[in-house]
Structure 1
Amino acid sequence: MPPEPPASEPPASEPPPPSGPDLRLVPAALATWAVTLLGLHTGWLPATLTAILLTATAVTAACLLPRPRKPTHPATPAPASTPHAPTPPRRSHSRRLLRHRLAAATLTTCALAGAAAIGIALRTHATATHPLHALAERGATATLTGTVTGDPRPMRTPAYGGRPTNSNGTVLTLDLESAHATGDQLSTGGTVLLLALHDSWSAVSPGQRLRTTGKLAPARPGDLTAAVLRVHNAPELLGTPPFWQRAATHIRTGLRQASAVLPSDQAGLLPSLVVGDTTTLAPRVVADFRAAGLSHLLAVSGTNLAIVCGAVLLLCQALRAGPRTATAAAALALLGFVILARPQPSVLRAAVMAAIGLYALTSGRERAAIPALAGTITILLLADPELAGDLGFLLSVLATTALVLLAPRWSDNLRQRGVPGGLAEALAIPAAAHLFTAPVVVGMTGELSLTAILANLLAAPVVALATVLGVLAAVLSVIHPGAAELLVHVTGPAMWWLVTVAHHAAAVPMSTLPWPSGAGGAFLLIGVLLVLALLLRRRRFRVLFLAAALLAILVLVPIRVLRPGWPLPGWAVVACDVGQGDAIVLATADPGRAVLIDTGPDPIAITACLRDLDIDRIPLLVLTHLHADHIGGLAEVLAEHAVGAVGISSVQQPPWAVKEIRRVTGAAGVPLVELHPGTSTTWPALTVDILGPRSPTALGATGERASGTALNDASLVIRAHTTAGRVLLTGDIELAGQADLLADKGSELSADILKVPHHGSRYSLPRFLATVRPRVALISVGADNDYGHPSPLILDTLHTQGTQVLRTDQDGDLAIAPSPQGPVISRHGKEKSRTPR
């Protein structure tokens, strides 16, 4: 029997590719991001030093890269008769390979981060040395010529006595061409932020060249704009925007007009969902979507672009078009949508992220998607460094990372457990995106949404259909408006469903969990999620966790529904936390019916407060005076509640406010009445008496403009008899108004509860406070306001006379209810005020 030939060694082969995601470009993207942030917030000198250090490190890494060896002839194979042929050593080869990879990764990371450091150093140096920067420090006046980039945005920072947040105040960005100040022409280039208070600015289109004059102010830290220009006049237009911008504006306007056939909340939602046009979006819808975790639907994101491109690809597939034709069609659709939604940085970012997401989902190549995402982040940060500090950019990156890294695995796991494929993806995608973005959202809002995943799951089925139909309606609106309106009607049920889901998700008891805001709260949530992820790997802990969650749902939710912590049972007075402004609610004996005194500056804050109190009928809404911090929420309150009448003082100034109030009350069909001292109105368990102003004629019935102080002293002063005692509501009266009341009413001003005049400003008479001598003082004031409210002098005076002081900036919404022992106080929702800071 011949001897059996010895078993030969299997031929050497290349090592199999790693099964995990390809993370080689991730360190470079993170380093680029960190370096750009450093330069934005510390200036050009630290960025320059960082660039030098990174360049030196990159050179060192390049020197350490092993040189390629010359090919050598393979050794003569050992004879077949040799029983044990020596195997070539592999350890030294593995070490060389590891050294090579480490040096290559270090070189790539340091080279890209060094390029980012050089770029941000140059940008921050150009901003710091820009001629307008020094002039802005002195508040100089300048005439600027440039091109508008992006759509005008409503101004969201109401000033005391100025226009409300939903007025025609506009924010724009201008790319400078030339600047004139102090009689000299300055060097061109750079970017300026325009704060315009003239009505005509809201109609300016992106790409429009214009000239304007205003007063310069410094830009905020971490911003690459040279200065801020405050403008009070109309712009001088120079020519027309490019044709594609004009076409996009025409289409967007057509979509808004076609959407008007839907109810108001749905009509504003459709343009926002489709092209990010929030012009007609109702504030109550914004509040509901924010609380429900659906706010990403109100802006152009990668989801919008992915839906449009996906629809084009499906159409090409149905027409049996080839791969190249389908790719070209999708690319054209992407380009057209970017133009329609405006080619500003946020839209360009969304376009890139959508392309990556589509590539990951259609190809299933996770290993290729992560390098593409990391490379895209790096390129975008090099092109636009300000994205490094943009929370929208961070949320988009995190959501895309969840889409390509985590969602496919979760979806596969669910399918392996018997969940149908479509349902598995519908569950995995919103859950993964919410998990990755939750720390950032918590840091921004101070609230952790417990209904976001469910709300996104319920909303997802109609988003794609509504987006595609909305884009078609937008295009048809310039060809055949009737056909566009028909398509909008078809989207009506989808819009109703989205509004309904958001409203009910926001109204679920305990739908949000208070959480520390800021970076600390974000890192705390990350730590909690990491600990849970480690513990949930054990089956025993998973069972305990699910049992605890189920027990909490079965016990806490019914308790919350049957015995809610808010509103306080039997409440008589509530001071709503509306930021720097006033909004006081007086209860009647009828559930759901209350009198409202002022509406604050922010429509979202006041409507959220009234909804929490379950108020749907307001027989009388009183505006003590017509400053923005008291009337800003009027239009939204009228739109959402049944209001019997709106009462104002006989002093009807400033003119813009009177015009706005007459417009919104007329549109709502609510009568506007004048209230005079001596007027008294009674409801069950509530009587309202008007005490002041005593001398309104001092402001002149001639129509002359009054000063801010004179308008404050013309505030309606109200005495309310409630179940919790007598309440004195003083508007913003100052020294003269308080002196008039003391002279006219004297000891009749005593009250159990005082709404402290003018947010606790120092312009209050100690004699007035001593005469009222309340048991409880309510101060409606915004956190970190610029006016020094409330004054320490007023606080000391109130504390000295034994008054309990309550502040909305520290306590949130404040409710007072009667009891045999005196007023009972309840606080609500002050983890973070509802009003944006």
Structure 2
Amino acid sequence: MRGAAKVWPGSFRLLICALSLWITALAAPGPWALFTVPPLVCLGFLCLRRHHHLGVLLIVFACLLTVQTTMLGSARGPDEATEVEGIAVGHSQPGDSGWSRLTVLTSTGITEVLSPSAPPDGAHVSLRTEALDDIRISNDDARIIRAPNGVWKWRADLRLQLRHDSLASGHSGGALLPGLVVGDTEPQDARMEDDMRVVSLTHISAVSGSNVTIVSLGAGLLAGLCRAGPRTRVGVGVLTCVGYVFIVGFEPSAIRAAGMAIAVALVFLRGGGISPVAVMSSTVCILLSFVPVLATSVGFVLSVVSTAAILFVVPIILRRLSLHLSIVPTIVISALIVPLVAQLACTPVLVAIDPRIGLWSVAANALAAPAVLPATVLGFVSMVCGGLGLLGVPGLLWCAQVPAWLGSLCAWWIVGVARICAGLPGAALDWPKPPVGTLAALGLLILLAAGLWMLVRRKLWGIPTVVVCICLTALIIVVGRTKPPADDWLVMICDVGQGSATVINLGEGAGLVVDTGKDPKPVDVCLDEGGIEDFDLVISHFDADHSAGYAGTTWSRTLHRLWVSSNVSEGAEVRGLVADTGAKVVPTTRGRSLDAAGARIEVLWPPARETAETDRGEEADGNEETDVGEETVGTEVRNEDSLVLRVELEGLSFLVPGDIGEDEQFILAQSLEPVDLLIAPHHGSSDLAEDFFTAAGARLGVFSVGENSYGHPTPRAQRAFGPVPVLRTDRCGTVAVYAHAKYSTARDCHGDEQ
């Protein structure tokens, strides 16, 4: 007890220091913050005599604040354009835009640069950058001054070798293993990523603190088997962790994972006599001082929360359960308790990111957890064998294939668990949006923790407390759940965020899907709600918010034909989509009509490119911006090439206009027949012609829109509909429309009608 009392003040001041550094990192003060350092140091020395702990806290905080402010200044750089030169030590996987976030080690620290391309890791590069919030951005590709040296080339070859050996297994586990071991997520497809996200297994799809912890702890324990002392065990674990991070990459996520792994290694390999609070707080202090950009990282918050829960809560529960369940091996209890505690602790943060809660997330984590350890260890062994084989050790390149195959088998189990659990009812239930949803989840977590604590202490009040917690959770889910459409729906405007996806019901599980949105999961959910199993796909144009989510339409469904404008039918986007799905391409243009299971579909736009250029010839004379050379025909993505469909189905007529602008709308308005339903062109952009809305004469309007920085839908677009009900998918969710323009919405939004 006396030892704990001696340790606690030091742990407490480190905790206060960590929280203070987190606040300053979020505030991101400028160089002026350095002027506060001398007064803090002086005040600290004055307090040393009578208030020793306060004095030490002030001095330590002042020193770390100096480092943090310097690193922030280095990362942010000057406001004007400047040259950044250094070694590219890591990069993120390119996003939908193709841009990557580079981690560049400069003479003054670490700088994060958003770049249109990623140079090889280890290359000495130079980039012309500008300030963008707390990072830099470069509009040009990095200029390589010096190619990576032999060590960096060996690292790149090692990562490729692990990917090759893993993919040789021929199943989905081979695509997951490189991400789990070294953070190489490129082989993972969109469905795997979404399944892992739905059941909260994304920390497994890419290398995380748990994987680094397994490797560093394993090395330390192996040293212990060789009769190494506590300090040697810790040293071996830390050195292994540093080497592992070099292979993974020095981007902030890997540094964060390494920090948390070292914290766990210090606590468990040291063998007692060290405070977990002090270790956790020290780790956070060091990370936020040298990599302050982590303060705004959700992954860092999740790492801190889950690691803290594992260090503080799991040992208490294990001690109690071991007394009452002595028959069950401790390792089995740990395999169940650790993912449960970590998942529950992270829930308030997770619902703040994505306001949904999964009934099967804890079960998925518990089922996947036993496979993470062997998959990580086998993948690491394969990596070591492959690395030595690349250095010329005979036979090891062949030997590396065996653990890679076995590790891929373990990873296959994880993928299977994620896929099955993500497909079960209740895998993704709606939860209130933050901050209400976050506070509700935090309150319920505290209530559950209190109930479980009382049960562990054998107090009967724990039972009603847990029951109340479960009932309140169920009540929140039931009240906030989305409502599926009735069976007689004719058209659904899907809630896919800032994008567009429309589904036309052709009966008996068949449908026509017009655009897919940007992400695959929302359109997949929408098609599930509509009961669509076989479909044709229409892509109005190949902007990402209309076409990038096409993979979600094919999950457990059959795609037959792909309808596109003849102006883009020879483009690379069409060829890529056909290669992925095997669909038959049907080019179409203005004037074409077809009947599909009782639906009459008329293509109103676009005309063939040559015709369109002729129609605009007089306007385009001398205007270079409207010239289209032959080399761009059939390949260029343009809003004015959007397919516009007029559909009549069982007494309901509606218009799906893609992203056409004011000029195209004005042309169509001259001959447009009225419709019952109009989906706003271009998500409610101000690039519109009021004559188009007037000619449509719709009885109902819908904006397919999500959170955006464009101001969609604009006030002008909202006024253009006139005095009719106008719905928004960001507020109402998916909109289902029936005969005679009757409608239902997934969420209650009657007060939001325009």
User: Which residue in the other structure is 1:78 paired with?
Assistant: none
2:658: which partner in 1?
731
The CA deviation string for residues 759-802 of structure 1, in whole angstroms up to 9 with x for no partner, is 1112222221122122221211231x23232120120121x2x3
Residue 117 of structure 1 pairs with residue 117 of structure 2: no
Change (3 A) 1:525 1:378: same
1:271 matches 2:173: no
Q: CA deviation at 1:341?
A: 1.0
Are 1:292 and 2:199 matched, yes or no? yes
Instruction: Confirm or deny: 8 A CA contact 1:607 1:636 kept in the other structure.
Output: yes
- Deviation string 1:602-653 (CA, Å, 9 cap, x unpaired) is 33443444455454432x1111122232222235545764211212111128
Q: What is the distance in 2 between the residues matched to 1:126 and 1:641?
A: 51
Q: Look up the match of 1:776.
A: 700
Query: How many residues are aligned here?
Result: 720
Partner of 1:833: none
Structure 2 match to 1:160: none
User: Structure 2: which amino acid aligns with 1:244?
Assistant: V
Letter in 2 for 1:462: A
In 1, the alpha carbon distance for the partners of 2:214 and 2:519 equals: 34
Task: Say if 2:14 and 2:278, in contact at 8 Å, map to a contact too.
Answer: no
Shift of 1:483: 4.8
Alpha-carbon distance in structure 2 between the residues aligned to 1:610 and 1:761: 27
Do the aligned partners of 1:572 and 1:816 also contact (CA within 8 Å) in 2? yes
1:305 to 212, 223, 226: 212
Q: Which residue of 1 aligns with 2:91?
A: 151
Structure 1 residue 731, shift from structure 2 partner: 0.9
**Counterpart residue number, 1:826:** 745
Aligned match of 2:619: none
Query: Which of 792, 809, 817 is residue 715 of structure 2 equivalent to?
Result: 792
Q: Structure 1 786/346 Cα, relative in aligned 2: closer, same or farther at 3 Å?
A: closer
Question: Match for residue 627 of structure 1?
Answer: 543
**In the alignment, which of 587, 591, 602 is matched to residue 689 of structure 1?**
602
Instruction: Note the alpha carbon deviations across 1:275-300, whole angstroms, 9 max, x for none.
Output: 11122222222222222121111232
Matched, 1:510 2:426: yes
**Partner residue of 1:804?**
725
Q: Does 1:107 align with 2:55?
A: yes
Q: Distance in 1 between matches of 2:340 and 2:219?
A: 27
Q: Tell me if 1:205 matches 2:120.
A: yes
What is aligned with 1:8?
Answer: none
The one-letter code sitting in structure 2 at the alignment partner of 1:206 is: D
Q: Match for 2:605: what amino acid? A: G
CA distance in 2, matches of 1:228, 1:459: 38
Q: Give the one of 26, 29, 43 matched to 1:43.
A: 29
Does the CA contact (< 8 Å) of 2:176 and 2:205 recur in 1?
Answer: yes
C-alpha distance in 1, partners of 2:403/2:584? 37
Among 554, 563, 585, the residue aligned to 1:672: 585
Rounded to whole Å, the distance in 2 between the matches of 1:439 and 1:556 is 14
Distance across 2 between alignment mates of 1:535 and 1:792: 50
| Cα contact 2:733–2:747 (8 A) shared by 1 | yes
User: Could you tell me how far apart the structure 1 residues matched to 2:168 and 2:152 are?
Assistant: 26
For residues 517 and 24 of structure 1, the distance between their equivalents in structure 2, rounded to whole angstroms, comes to 39
Q: Give me the whole-angstrom Cα distance separating, in 1, the residues matched to 2:525 and 2:219.
A: 40
Paired letter, 1:755: I
Partner of 1:250: 157
Over alpha carbons, which structure has the higher Rg? Answer: 1
Task: Name the SS for the 1:25 alignment partner.
Answer: helix
Note closer, same or farther for the CA distance 1:35–1:758 as it changes in structure 2 (3 Å cut).
Answer: same
Contact 1:293–1:452, Cα closer than 8 Å, also in 2: yes
Report whether the alignment pairs 1:529 with 2:445.
yes
Question: Conserved in 2, the CA contact under 8 Å of 1:780 and 1:809?
Answer: yes
Greater shift in the superposed pair: 339-348 or 357-366: 357-366
Q: Gapped runs of 5+ residues in structure 2?
A: 390-395, 614-626, 750-754
1:28 equivalent in structure 2: 14
**Aligned pair partner of 1:661 in 553, 568, 574:** 574
Of 373, 381, 396, 2:303 maps to 396
Work out whether residues 25 and 371 of structure 1, in 8 Å CA contact, stay in contact via their aligned partners in 2. yes
Query: 1:805 & 1:209 partners in 2: Cα distance?
Result: 55
**Displacement after TM superposition at 1:316 (Å):** 5.9
Structure 2: which amino acid aligns with 1:153? Q
Name the amino acid aligned to 1:37.
Answer: I
Deviation of 1:828 (Å): 5.2
Normalised by the length of structure 2, the TM-score is 0.85
Contact 1:588 1:685 in 2 (8 A): yes
Aligned amino acid, residue 150 of structure 1: G
Report the Cα distance in structure 1 between the residues aligned to 2:28 and 2:213, rounded to whole angstroms. 37
| One-letter code aligned to 1:746 | L
| Residue of 713, 732, 746 corresponding to 2:672 | 746
Alpha-carbon distance in 1 for matches of 2:184, 2:636:
38
Deviation at 1:726, TM superposition (A): 1.6
Q: What's the offset of the Cα at 1:208?
A: 0.8
Ranges in structure 1 where 5+ consecutive residues have no aligned partner: 1-14, 65-102, 137-141, 156-164, 178-188, 831-837
Say whether 1:722 aligns with 2:649. Answer: yes
How far did residue 366 of structure 1 move?
A: 7.7
How far apart in 1 are the matches of 2:409 and 2:105?
Answer: 42
- CA shift for structure 1 position 435: 3.0
Cα deviation code 1:177-219 (max 9, x no counterpart) = 7xxxxxxxxxxx566544433xxx34x2222112345xx5431
Sequence identity percentage: 26
- CA change 1:613–1:323 in 2 (3 A) is farther
SS in 2 for 1:238: strand
Paired residue secondary structure (1:154): coil
TM superposition score normalised by structure 1:
0.77
CA contact (8 A) 2:568 2:637 kept: no
CA RMSD of aligned residues (A): 3.6
